[in-house]
């Protein structure tokens, strides 16, 4: 069972961030992280029929809320200081899409307060690899790619965050 919470106040606010390239889904489900992530990916697939999915390649690493939401000490220095590869922190994916924005750390905090109105202490966060779908190919070229599933235990809902873009 899946219920997309399309009337959540988050979506109205997120529309203001029209240069952000993250795909967010807020979903109620009694199924697993993987099932909900696949549901979200299939919603994207419905809009773009060229997306392929290989479930056998899906792997995740559980990460803490502290690690996931941690902001840089010096944003201007750290925003371009990454090793090679596609992995980028969540703050970077929001604040620095391929085409520049004027988004600030305050915007990032505001969006996440809307997503997690009861706080970030009771979250189960899975950081998935991205080799399981061609959706991520653009992001693998340069900017980055991500597949994150977050279960909010207090609100009994999932947040799915998908990222893949290039310039």
Q: What is the pTM of this model?
A: 0.92
Structure-token pair, residue 119: 């706080």
Q: What is the pLDDT of residue 167?
A: 58
Q: Contact at 8 Å (CB) between 103 and 20?
A: yes
How far, in Å, CA of 137 to CA of 166, rounded? 9
Task: Tokens for 58, please give them.
Answer: 């899906």
CA dist 93 and 163 (Å) reads 7
Distance, in Å, from the CA atom of 89 to the CA atom of 31, rounded to the nearest integer, reads 27
Residue 147 in contact with residue 136, Cβ under 8 Å? yes
Q: pLDDT 10s per residue in the chain (167 long)? A: 899 999 999 999 999 988 888 999 999 999 999 999 999 999 887 676 688 899 999 999 999 999 999 998 887 777 767 665 677 889 988 988 877 788 889 999 999 999 999 999 999 999 999 999 998 988 777 778 899 999 999 999 999 999 987 65
Number of domains composing the chain: 1
User: How confident is the model at residue 77, as a pLDDT?
Assistant: 72
Q: Cα(52)–Cα(22) distance, rounded to whole angstroms?
A: 19
3-state SS, residue 133? strand
Structure-block tokens of residue 45: 């697939």
Please tell me the predicted confidence (pLDDT) of residue 88.
82
Backbone angles phi, psi at 6, to 5 degrees: -70, -15
Q: What range does the domain containing 25 cover?
A: 2-165
CATH number at residue 40: 3.40.1000
Beta strand segments in the chain, E: 2-4, 23-29, 60-63, 123-128, 144-152, 157-165
Tokens (6 digits) for 105 = 């750390």
Side-chain-side CA neighbours of residue 51 (13 Å): 21
């Amino acid at each position: 069972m899946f219920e997309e919470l399309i009337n959540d106040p988050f979506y109205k606010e997120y529309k203001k961030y029209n240069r952000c390239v993250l795909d967010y889904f807020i979903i109620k489900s009694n199924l697993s992280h993987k099932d909900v992530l696949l549901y979200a990916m299939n919603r994207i697939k419905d809009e773009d029929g060229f997306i392929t999915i290989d479930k056998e390649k899906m792997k995740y690493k559980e990460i803490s809320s502290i690690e996931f939401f941690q902001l840089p000490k010096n944003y201007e220095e750290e925003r371009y200081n990454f090793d090679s590869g596609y992995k980028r922190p969540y703050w970077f994916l929001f604040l620095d899409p391929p085409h520049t924005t004027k988004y600030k750390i305050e915007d990032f905090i505001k969006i996440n307060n809307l997503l997690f109105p009861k706080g970030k202490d009771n979250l189960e966060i899975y950081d998935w690899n991205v080799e399981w779908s061609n959706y991520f190919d653009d992001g693998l070229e340069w900017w980055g790619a991500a597949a994150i599933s977050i279960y909010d235990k207090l609100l009994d809902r999932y947040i799915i965050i998908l990222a893949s873009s290039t310039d």
